[in-house]
Amino acid sequence: MSAHHISEPKDTSVEKSVAPTKIPRCGWFQASASNCADVHSNGKPWRLVLLGAPGVGKGTQADLLNQRLNACHLSTGDLFRAASKQKECDQSPAMRAAMEQMRRGELVPDATVWEMVRERADCLRCSSGFVLDGFPRTLGQADALKQLMETERIPLHAVVNYELPLAEIVARLSGRRTCEKCKAVFHITGQPPKVEGVCDRCGGKLFQRDDDRPESITVRMAAYERSTAPLIEFYKALGLLVAVAAIGTPDDICARTIAALKSRA
């Protein structure tokens, strides 16, 4: 992303049912030498990048793939949210720069976001593999990531691109309602509150964010398409791109993703 707002493994173990698990990501959040728990016991680790427009459920799929494949979910969005709650002395140099830019109301530049990821190269070496969510978002970031992984001799196995028609994306996002107090998110049809307009958790008032209005979504999608089209062509040329339809339940989409990954093995 130019700015930030707040060869396949032969492992057949993806067919097995894996109990939900959350792998510690202390190194990802702290930019330390701490490694994630090594829980990948069979075959080669999976190293994946996820692409997808706002509203396709990319974060949900990253969590499910974390559970099914035992690969660490490395999210730049989670990284920013965690950093906003850290003391400045606990933040990495790049994160301190990013937080300062955000406090000034500026967008975090491409170079700073890349430096945040580079600081966490140990997480990319994790023996459990990774699911990288939210990065890269520009061709420059993709090329930088490619060079780093080549230098570290870490193979990227696939880049999953979740696809959904624009009309469906608009329906998903425009139906979202957010609590003004606790920030819980509901959906007027998919996950409605028990009482219309009232948060189930805290009783706060639900509202529609400006960027969830149809006209704003259309603008966001146009910007996403402009920035992502070169990325898709980049990974397609490398033979890494895997297109997955983001239709159905989250479990349906996850099963479709794993089937697509298996077909490449």
pLDDT tens digits for range 178-227: 999 898 889 998 889 999 999 999 999 999 998 899 999 989 898 888 88
Range from 15-29, 121-135, 216-230, 238-252 carrying the lowest mean pLDDT? 15-29
The set of residues, in sequence order, having a beta carbon less than 8 Å from that of 239 and lying 6+ positions away, is none
Residue 18 has pLDDT above 70, yes or no: no
**147-177 tens-digit pLDDT:** 999 998 999 999 999 999 988 999 889 999 9
Give residue for tokens 């624009």.
Answer: 166
Range from 23-27, 221-225, 236-240 carrying the lowest mean pLDDT? 23-27
Q: How many CB atoms lie within 10 A of CB 152?
A: 12
Tokens of 251: 């479990």
Active-site positions read: 58, 137, 176, 209, 220
C-alpha closest to that of 37 among 49, 48, 26: 26
Proportion of the chain above pLDDT 70, given as a percent:
82
| Alpha-carbon span 254 to 245, nearest angstrom | 10
- Report the chain's C-alpha Rg in angstroms: 19
**Residue 261, SS3 per DSSP:** helix
Question: May I ask the CATH class of domain 3-164+215-264?
Answer: alpha beta
C-alpha closest to that of 145 among 168, 99, 113, 171: 113
| Alpha-carbon span 108 to 90, nearest angstrom | 19
Band the pLDDT of 127: cuts 50, 70, 90. confident
Higher-pLDDT residue of 3 and 264 is 264
- In the chain, where are the structural domains located? 3-164+215-264, 165-212
Average pLDDT score over the chain: 82
Residues in the chain: 265
Band the pLDDT of 62: cuts 50, 70, 90. very high
pTM: 0.77
**98, 83 contact by CB (below 8 A):** yes
- Residue 31, pLDDT score: 60
Higher-pLDDT residue of 81 and 179 is 179
Residue 119 has pLDDT above 80, yes or no: yes
